[in-house]
């Protein structure tokens, strides 16, 4: 009954979104507000229907209705309610359903916000968004129906994927990532609308910039939360493995970040306009590519391609979108000529240009590295993989160069800089960077990567600090404000600029933390019998006992726990476990992570001997890891600060164009 309701909601949702797409085109061409209003309402209806279908699925999961195949595969009678609810996005069909809800949500939000603005653009924006939603409904209707029935009905289901019910982060990381992914359809829709209607002006850029930053914040948070989840759940002591699925999330983030930067040049200087449009297209196509890579099974083996109908749908969608969007872009090239000459080699726009070249280089390098094993397999039949060392080797220098530009760019004037300006702006930051590096060396940091990044990050932070102070001092002189007051006023009146600085500061924090944790972590493995101890760094771990018992909130899960006592800079009891889930033949690690400001102590149980009561433990001391998450949060907050609505602008009733220096 509920499954039928869900299925019907999907079918009507498909009809509603197709109607919306058609009505937007028709209403736009006839400039008929009634037709356009009905198109908007149809989009809202599609959102409501997607929500209804999601609700139906959640009810089915919560009531453990195993007559539905998806529930039988991803739920069990013992699954706790929280994990039942988040099983909505734990597997293929459910995640497409959830995805549709988010895509329709973004579309409805945008159409509602702009219902009385940008009358020339919005019909096409609406048409593009509605088509996107229709695609997802169609995938569910034909290729991946989440409400497929199962006969005979079993008394018990498989339970969720063991990895996905082991940590509450599963409730946070996928929604954030999906919000980022689906939201990138909005700038794409605006981009297409602008090309179709030939309104590729600054107004368009300001709207698209804002609507790229909104999903960008979610994407950033989702990627960082994913790394955190990987760290907290997988038990290997790391957070980023250059796994194809991780790369898939990073690719659109990279092009979106490139767009955020190039759009400022396009807006301020009238150059890089075609490029900026191309980035909007690339970002959206890469979200489709990412979905394709993660959903079709194509990255594990070329041969699993034919087994997944959804893969074919996405492959076609990618081809159609890419050829359609690029043809449109080529057709409108004459509209996108630079309106002004390029800047000097040493100028802010050049810094932005090189920033974009580097972002695109990373994107291509990662895309190439992700697809290369597939190409090798397709051409030679040999199965191969490209490991993290290659990705690190290629990408680390580019990231370092990008960080350098983050320091250089903001201090260079538009147009061109004289050597005198360059000397004046960079003397102090260079000194500061060198000073911190020397100080760190004196404090016995000997690895080149952390030393170099510490110096570079200090350089970048000093350039920005110097910039803020210069501006605040000038303001404080001219208006007689106290310096802290002047900083606040300056920042809230130039949100984009100072939000950007805050985001860069977060990147600096992350860069230092990554450099330290990647090179200065230590690791020890030992097999202990009860009463025996092992030590790593300044810590001593005493193995007390091994406990095997079912989990309190899911009796089918058997947990074998090593209980230890920790002594050292941090002390107290530590418990690390392996869990046996009925749905998995592999025991799932449940590492114990003791997070500190300076370093994490990470203890994971590799294996145990139930007869002798001994345990094999792997222990890491990972420096500064929490600063990766903190840095990610600062980046997201910086972007949020940048797009926070400006009260003065709203009360003035001005259109949503952004003023101030970028």
Q: Which of residues 489-528 bind other proteins (CB under 8 A)?
A: 490, 494, 497, 525, 527
Contact 334, 198 (CB under 8 A): no
Mark the segment that binds other proteins (CB under 8 A) among 155-163, 280-288, 312-320, 506-514.
155-163
Which value, in Å, is the radius of gyration of the alpha carbons in the chain? 27
Alpha carbon distance 215, 258 (integer Å): 14
Of 483 and 661, which has the nearer Cβ to other proteins? 661
Contacting residues for 470 by C-beta, under 8 A, at least 6 apart: none
**Per-residue contact string for residues 180-219; x = within reach of other proteins by CB under 8 A:** ----------------------------------------
Smallest distance, other proteins to C-beta of residue 341, A: 5
Smallest distance, other proteins to C-beta of residue 270, A: 12
Footprint on residues 632-661 left by other proteins (CB under 8 A) = 660-661
Alpha carbon distance 248, 292 (integer Å): 9
Residue among 217, 18, 13, 5 nearest 96 (CA): 13
Alpha carbon distance 599, 253 (integer Å): 28
Tokens linked to 242: 């250059």
Alpha carbon distance 421, 415 (integer Å): 13
Of 183 and 297, which has the nearer Cβ to other proteins? 297
Strand 599-609 to strand 614-623: parallel, antiparallel, or no bridges (unpaired)? antiparallel
Footprint on residues 273-332 left by other proteins (CB under 8 A) = 291, 294-297, 299-300, 304, 308
Of 38 and 616, which has the nearer Cβ to other proteins? 616
Distances (CA, A) of 27 to 31, 42, 126: 5, 13, 11
Of 321 and 355, which has the nearer Cβ to other proteins? 355
Distance separating the N- and C-terminal Cα atoms of the chain = 55
Smallest distance, other proteins to C-beta of residue 234, A: 5
Mark the segment that binds other proteins (CB under 8 A) among 25-33, 147-155, 340-348, 430-438.
340-348
Of 387 and 435, which has the nearer Cβ to other proteins? 387
566 lies in the site for other proteins, by CB under 8 A: no
Alpha carbon distance 186, 230 (integer Å): 29
589 lies in the site for other proteins, by CB under 8 A: yes
Footprint on residues 90-149 left by other proteins (CB under 8 A) = 90-92, 95
163 lies in the site for other proteins, by CB under 8 A: yes
**Per-residue contact string for residues 42-81; x = within reach of other proteins by CB under 8 A:** -------------------------------x--------
341 lies in the site for other proteins, by CB under 8 A: yes
Footprint on residues 403-462 left by other proteins (CB under 8 A) = 413-417
Mark the segment that binds other proteins (CB under 8 A) among 366-374, 449-457, 569-577, 595-603.
366-374
Our CA angle for 316, 322, 324, nearest 5°, is 95
Alpha carbon distance 189, 328 (integer Å): 13
Total site size for other proteins, rule CB under 8 A: 96
Smallest distance, other proteins to C-beta of residue 3, A: 20
In the sheet that 522-528 helps form, which strands lie side by side, from edge to edge?
A: 522-528, 614-623, 599-609, 592-594
Of 48 and 582, which has the nearer Cβ to other proteins? 582
Beta-bridge partner residues of 578: 560, 589
Q: What is the largest CA-CA distance in the chain?
A: 82
Of 125 and 371, which has the nearer Cβ to other proteins? 371
Q: Please pick, from the candidates 236, 270, 430, 530, the single residue that binds other proteins as defined by CB under 8 A.
A: 236
Of 3 and 223, which has the nearer Cβ to other proteins? 223
Tell me the Ramachandran region of residue 195: left when phi exceeds 0, alpha when psi lies from -120 to 50, beta otherwise: alpha
Of 227 and 521, which has the nearer Cβ to other proteins? 227
Smallest distance, other proteins to C-beta of residue 12, A: 26
Contacting residues for 124 by C-beta, under 8 A, at least 6 apart: 24, 25, 28, 189, 192, 193, 196, 197
Smallest distance, other proteins to C-beta of residue 528, A: 12
Footprint on residues 596-615 left by other proteins (CB under 8 A) = 604, 606-608
Number of neighbours of residue 265 by Cβ within 10 angstroms: 26
User: What is the three-state SS of 73-105?
Assistant: HHCCCCCCHHHHHHHHHCCHHHHHHHHHHHHHH
Smallest distance, other proteins to C-beta of residue 443, A: 32
Alpha carbon distance 512, 623 (integer Å): 10
Of 43 and 87, which has the nearer Cβ to other proteins? 87
Smallest distance, other proteins to C-beta of residue 173, A: 7
Smallest distance, other proteins to C-beta of residue 62, A: 20
Residue among 242, 487, 454, 459 nearest 367 (CA): 242
**Per-residue contact string for residues 533-562; x = within reach of other proteins by CB under 8 A:** ------------------------------
Mark the segment that binds other proteins (CB under 8 A) among 128-136, 207-215, 435-443, 470-478.
470-478
Residue whose tokens read 């969720």: 160
158 lies in the site for other proteins, by CB under 8 A: yes
Residue among 631, 600, 598, 624 nearest 508 (CA): 631
Q: How far is CA 486 from the centre of its chain?
A: 34
């Amino acid at each position: 009954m509920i499954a039928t309701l869900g299925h019907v909601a999907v079918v009507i949702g498909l009809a509603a979104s197709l109607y919306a797409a058609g009505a937007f085109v028709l209403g736009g061409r006839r400039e008929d507000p009634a037709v356009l209003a009905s198109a908007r309402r149809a989009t809202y209806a599609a959102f409501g229907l997607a929500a209804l279908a999601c609700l139906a699925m959640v009810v089915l999961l919560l009531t453990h209705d195993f007559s539905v195949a998806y529930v039988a595969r991803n739920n069990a009678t013992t699954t706790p309610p929280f994990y039942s609810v988040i099983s909505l996005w734990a597997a293929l069909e459910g995640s497409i359903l959830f995805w549709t809800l988010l895509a329709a949500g973004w579309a409805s939000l945008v159409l509602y916000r702009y219902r009385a603005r940008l009358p020339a653009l919005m019909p096409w924006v609406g048409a593009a968004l509605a088509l996107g939603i229709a695609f997802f409904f169609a995938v569910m209707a034909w290729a991946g129906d989440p409400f497929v029935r199962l006969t005979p009905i079993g008394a018990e289901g498989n339970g969720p994927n063991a990895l996905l019910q082991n940590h509450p982060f599963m409730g946070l990381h996928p929604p954030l990532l999906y919000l980022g992914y689906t939201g990138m359809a909005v700038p794409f829709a605006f981009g297409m609308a602008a090309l179709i209607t030939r309104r590729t002006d600054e107004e368009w850029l300001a709207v698209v910039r804002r609507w790229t930053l909104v999903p960008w914040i979610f994407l950033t948070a989702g990627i960082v939360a994913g790394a955190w989840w990987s760290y907290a759940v997988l038990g290997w002591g790391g957070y980023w493995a250059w796994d194809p699925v991780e790369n898939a999330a990073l690719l659109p983030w990279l092009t979106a970040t490139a767009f955020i930067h190039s759009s400022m040049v396009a807006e301020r200087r009238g150059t890089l306009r075609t490029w900026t449009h191309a980035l909007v297209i690339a970002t959206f196509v890469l979200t489709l590519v990412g979905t394709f890579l993660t959903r079709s099974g194509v990255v594990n083996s070329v041969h699993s391609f034919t087994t997944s109908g959804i893969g074919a749908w996405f492959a076609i969608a990618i081809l159609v979108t890419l050829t359609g969007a690029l043809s449109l872009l080529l057709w409108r090239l004459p509209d996108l000529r630079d309106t002004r000459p390029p800047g000097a080699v040493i100028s802010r726009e050049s810094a932005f240009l090189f920033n974009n070249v580097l972002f695109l280089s990373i994107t291509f390098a990662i895309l190439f590295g992700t697809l290369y094993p597939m190409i090798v397999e397709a051409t030679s039949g040999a199965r191969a993989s490209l490991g993290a060392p290659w990705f690190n080797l290629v990408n680390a220098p580019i990231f370092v160069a990008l960080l350098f530009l983050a320091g250089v760019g903001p201090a260079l004037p538009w147009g061109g800089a004289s050597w005198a300006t360059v000397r004046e702006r960079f003397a102090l930051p260079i000194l500061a960077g060198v000073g911190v590096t020397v100080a760190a060396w004196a404090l016995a940091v000997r690895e080149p990567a952390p030393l170099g990044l510490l110096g570079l990050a200090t350089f970048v932070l000093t350039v920005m600090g110097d910039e803020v102070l210069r501006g605040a001092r000038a303001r404080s002189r001219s208006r007689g404000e106290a310096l802290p007051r002047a900083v606040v006023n300056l920042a809230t009146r130039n949100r984009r600029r100072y939000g950007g600085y805050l985001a860069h500061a977060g990147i600096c924090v992350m860069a230092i933390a990554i450099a330290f944790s990647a090179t200065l972590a230590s690791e020890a493995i030992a097999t202990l019998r009860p009463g025996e101890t092992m030590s790593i760094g300044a810590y001593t771990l005493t193995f007390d006992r091994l406990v095997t018992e079912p989990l309190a909130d899911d009796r089918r899960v058997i947990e074998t726990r090593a209980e230890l006592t920790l002594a050292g800079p941090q002390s107290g009891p530590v418990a690390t476990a392996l869990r046996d889930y009925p749905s998995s033949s592999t025991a799932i690690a449940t590492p114990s992570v003791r997070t500190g400001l300076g370093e994490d102590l990470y203890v994971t149980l590799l294996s145990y001997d139930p007869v002798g009561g001994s345990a094999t433990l792997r222990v890491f001391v990972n420096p500064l890891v929490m600063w990766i998450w903190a840095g990610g949060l600062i980046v997201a907050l910086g972007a949020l600060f940048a797009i926070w609505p400006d009260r003065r602008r709203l009360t003035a009733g001005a259109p949503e164009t952004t003023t101030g220096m970028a």
